[in-house]
Amino acid sequence: MATHAAHGKHTRQRSPIRFEQHLPVDHRLSTVYRIGAGVIGVFLLVFGILGVIDHIGFFSTGGDTVAGLNTNGALSVLSICVGVILVAGMLIGGNVASTLNMVFGVLFLLNGFLNLGLLDTPNNFLAFKIQNVLFSFVVGVLLMAFGMYGRVSSSLPHDNPYWRARHPEASERAEQTPSRRPG
Protein backbone atom coordinates (compact mmCIF):
# COMPACT_ATOMS: atom_id res chain seq x y z
CA MET A 1 0.00 0.00 0.00
CA ALA A 2 2.76 2.44 0.94
CA THR A 3 4.50 1.75 -2.35
CA HIS A 4 1.42 2.73 -4.31
CA ALA A 5 0.92 5.92 -2.29
CA ALA A 6 4.57 6.92 -2.70
CA HIS A 7 4.46 6.54 -6.46
CA GLY A 8 1.06 8.18 -6.76
CA LYS A 9 -0.51 5.21 -8.52
CA HIS A 10 -4.17 4.59 -8.05
CA THR A 11 -5.00 0.93 -7.73
CA ARG A 12 -8.43 -0.37 -8.44
CA GLN A 13 -9.79 -2.96 -6.07
CA ARG A 14 -11.02 -6.02 -7.89
CA SER A 15 -14.46 -7.02 -6.81
CA PRO A 16 -15.29 -10.70 -6.47
CA ILE A 17 -16.26 -12.31 -9.74
CA ARG A 18 -19.98 -12.92 -9.98
CA PHE A 19 -20.29 -15.07 -13.04
CA GLU A 20 -24.08 -15.03 -13.13
CA GLN A 21 -23.83 -11.37 -14.15
CA HIS A 22 -21.46 -12.09 -17.01
CA LEU A 23 -22.86 -15.22 -18.64
CA PRO A 24 -26.21 -14.84 -20.38
CA VAL A 25 -28.67 -17.68 -19.80
CA ASP A 26 -28.63 -18.63 -23.47
CA HIS A 27 -24.84 -18.47 -23.86
CA ARG A 28 -23.36 -21.30 -25.97
CA LEU A 29 -21.24 -22.51 -23.04
CA SER A 30 -24.43 -23.32 -21.14
CA THR A 31 -25.14 -26.10 -23.64
CA VAL A 32 -21.85 -27.81 -22.80
CA TYR A 33 -22.55 -27.60 -19.08
CA ARG A 34 -26.07 -28.97 -19.57
CA ILE A 35 -24.90 -31.90 -21.69
CA GLY A 36 -22.31 -32.94 -19.11
CA ALA A 37 -24.71 -32.73 -16.18
CA GLY A 38 -27.57 -34.34 -18.10
CA VAL A 39 -25.80 -37.35 -19.57
CA ILE A 40 -24.06 -38.33 -16.34
CA GLY A 41 -27.11 -37.46 -14.21
CA VAL A 42 -29.42 -39.65 -16.31
CA PHE A 43 -26.93 -42.53 -16.21
CA LEU A 44 -26.70 -42.29 -12.41
CA LEU A 45 -30.49 -42.16 -12.12
CA VAL A 46 -30.92 -45.28 -14.26
CA PHE A 47 -28.12 -47.07 -12.40
CA GLY A 48 -29.64 -46.19 -9.02
CA ILE A 49 -33.19 -47.14 -10.01
CA LEU A 50 -32.02 -50.50 -11.39
CA GLY A 51 -30.14 -51.12 -8.14
CA VAL A 52 -33.18 -50.29 -6.00
CA ILE A 53 -35.43 -52.51 -8.14
CA ASP A 54 -33.11 -55.49 -7.48
CA HIS A 55 -33.91 -55.29 -3.71
CA ILE A 56 -30.26 -55.48 -2.73
CA GLY A 57 -29.43 -55.15 0.97
CA PHE A 58 -28.82 -51.54 1.96
CA PHE A 59 -25.28 -52.06 3.27
CA SER A 60 -24.61 -55.45 1.68
CA THR A 61 -20.90 -55.65 0.97
CA GLY A 62 -21.34 -58.54 -1.46
CA GLY A 63 -23.38 -56.32 -3.70
CA ASP A 64 -24.95 -57.09 -7.01
CA THR A 65 -23.93 -56.07 -10.50
CA VAL A 66 -25.92 -53.44 -12.40
CA ALA A 67 -24.66 -52.11 -15.74
CA GLY A 68 -21.26 -53.72 -15.10
CA LEU A 69 -20.82 -51.96 -11.75
CA ASN A 70 -21.13 -53.45 -8.28
CA THR A 71 -23.86 -51.89 -6.15
CA ASN A 72 -25.91 -52.17 -2.99
CA GLY A 73 -28.90 -50.26 -1.63
CA ALA A 74 -26.86 -47.41 -0.21
CA LEU A 75 -24.96 -46.84 -3.46
CA SER A 76 -28.20 -47.05 -5.44
CA VAL A 77 -29.91 -44.41 -3.29
CA LEU A 78 -26.80 -42.21 -3.37
CA SER A 79 -26.66 -42.54 -7.17
CA ILE A 80 -30.31 -41.50 -7.45
CA CYS A 81 -29.72 -38.43 -5.25
CA VAL A 82 -26.65 -37.30 -7.21
CA GLY A 83 -28.42 -38.04 -10.50
CA VAL A 84 -31.41 -35.90 -9.49
CA ILE A 85 -29.12 -33.01 -8.51
CA LEU A 86 -27.21 -33.21 -11.82
CA VAL A 87 -30.43 -33.39 -13.86
CA ALA A 88 -31.74 -30.37 -11.93
CA GLY A 89 -28.48 -28.59 -12.81
CA MET A 90 -29.03 -29.53 -16.44
CA LEU A 91 -32.53 -28.03 -16.34
CA ILE A 92 -31.29 -24.82 -14.71
CA GLY A 93 -28.21 -24.61 -16.95
CA GLY A 94 -25.65 -21.84 -17.04
CA ASN A 95 -23.28 -21.33 -14.16
CA VAL A 96 -25.31 -23.58 -11.86
CA ALA A 97 -24.69 -26.57 -14.15
CA SER A 98 -21.04 -25.62 -14.56
CA THR A 99 -20.46 -25.31 -10.82
CA LEU A 100 -22.33 -28.54 -10.08
CA ASN A 101 -20.23 -30.34 -12.67
CA MET A 102 -17.00 -29.10 -11.12
CA VAL A 103 -18.04 -29.80 -7.53
CA PHE A 104 -19.34 -33.29 -8.27
CA GLY A 105 -16.30 -33.98 -10.45
CA VAL A 106 -14.01 -33.32 -7.50
CA LEU A 107 -16.29 -35.37 -5.21
CA PHE A 108 -16.23 -38.32 -7.63
CA LEU A 109 -12.43 -38.21 -7.75
CA LEU A 110 -12.17 -38.06 -3.97
CA ASN A 111 -14.72 -40.87 -3.71
CA GLY A 112 -12.64 -42.97 -6.07
CA PHE A 113 -9.51 -42.52 -3.96
CA LEU A 114 -11.39 -43.16 -0.71
CA ASN A 115 -13.01 -46.34 -1.96
CA LEU A 116 -9.76 -47.51 -3.54
CA GLY A 117 -8.38 -47.57 -0.02
CA LEU A 118 -11.46 -49.38 1.28
CA LEU A 119 -11.48 -52.20 -1.28
CA ASP A 120 -11.54 -55.66 0.33
CA THR A 121 -12.06 -54.25 3.82
CA PRO A 122 -15.09 -54.59 6.09
CA ASN A 123 -15.55 -50.78 5.81
CA ASN A 124 -16.47 -51.02 2.12
CA PHE A 125 -20.09 -50.07 2.88
CA LEU A 126 -20.84 -49.01 -0.73
CA ALA A 127 -19.76 -52.44 -2.05
CA PHE A 128 -17.17 -50.91 -4.40
CA LYS A 129 -15.06 -53.07 -6.64
CA ILE A 130 -12.21 -51.89 -8.86
CA GLN A 131 -14.60 -51.17 -11.76
CA ASN A 132 -16.53 -48.80 -9.48
CA VAL A 133 -13.31 -47.01 -8.56
CA LEU A 134 -12.36 -46.62 -12.22
CA PHE A 135 -15.88 -45.42 -13.00
CA SER A 136 -15.58 -42.79 -10.24
CA PHE A 137 -12.30 -41.55 -11.69
CA VAL A 138 -13.64 -41.38 -15.25
CA VAL A 139 -16.89 -39.67 -14.24
CA GLY A 140 -14.99 -37.25 -12.01
CA VAL A 141 -12.67 -36.20 -14.81
CA LEU A 142 -15.56 -35.92 -17.29
CA LEU A 143 -17.65 -33.80 -14.94
CA MET A 144 -14.71 -31.53 -14.19
CA ALA A 145 -13.95 -31.15 -17.91
CA PHE A 146 -17.58 -30.33 -18.70
CA GLY A 147 -17.75 -27.88 -15.80
CA MET A 148 -14.50 -26.08 -16.58
CA TYR A 149 -15.03 -25.90 -20.34
CA GLY A 150 -14.74 -22.29 -21.42
CA ARG A 151 -14.15 -21.18 -17.85
CA VAL A 152 -10.62 -22.23 -17.09
CA SER A 153 -7.84 -21.94 -19.64
CA SER A 154 -4.70 -20.02 -20.27
CA SER A 155 -5.99 -18.83 -23.62
CA LEU A 156 -9.63 -17.84 -23.26
CA PRO A 157 -10.83 -15.61 -26.09
CA HIS A 158 -11.29 -11.97 -25.14
CA ASP A 159 -15.03 -12.09 -25.82
CA ASN A 160 -15.43 -14.89 -23.26
CA PRO A 161 -17.49 -13.67 -20.28
CA TYR A 162 -15.12 -15.34 -17.80
CA TRP A 163 -12.07 -13.63 -19.36
CA ARG A 164 -13.89 -10.29 -19.22
CA ALA A 165 -14.77 -10.81 -15.56
CA ARG A 166 -11.13 -11.55 -14.68
CA HIS A 167 -9.71 -8.67 -16.77
CA PRO A 168 -12.11 -5.73 -16.36
CA GLU A 169 -9.55 -3.05 -17.32
CA ALA A 170 -8.56 -4.78 -20.55
CA SER A 171 -12.19 -5.51 -21.30
CA GLU A 172 -13.10 -1.83 -20.88
CA ARG A 173 -10.22 -0.76 -23.14
CA ALA A 174 -11.30 -3.25 -25.82
CA GLU A 175 -14.86 -1.90 -25.72
CA GLN A 176 -13.66 1.71 -25.97
CA THR A 177 -11.34 1.05 -28.92
CA PRO A 178 -13.26 1.50 -32.18
CA SER A 179 -13.27 -1.61 -34.30
CA ARG A 180 -11.24 -1.33 -37.48
CA ARG A 181 -12.63 -2.80 -40.62
CA PRO A 182 -10.36 -3.80 -43.44
CA GLY A 183 -10.81 -1.31 -46.23
Q: Does the structure show a pLDDT above 90 at 140? A: yes
Distance CA 50, CA 127 (A): 16
pLDDT class of 183 with cuts at 50, 70, 90: very low
For the chain, give the mean pLDDT.
76
pLDDT above 70 as % of the chain: 61
Lowest-pLDDT range of 34-43, 130-139, 155-164: 155-164
- Average pLDDT estimate for 163-168: 64
Contact 79, 51 (CB under 8 A): yes
Identify which has the larger pLDDT, 58 or 126.
126
List pLDDT tens digits, range 14-33: 555 554 554 444 556 677 77
Instruction: Report the Cα–Cα distance between both ends of the chain, in Å, rounded.
Output: 47
Between 155 and 38, whose confidence is greater? 38
**pLDDT tens digits for 145-155?**
888 876 666 56
Nearest alpha-carbon partner for 108 in 125, 86, 87: 86
Is pLDDT of 34 > 70? Answer: yes
CB count in 10 Å sphere of residue 86: 25
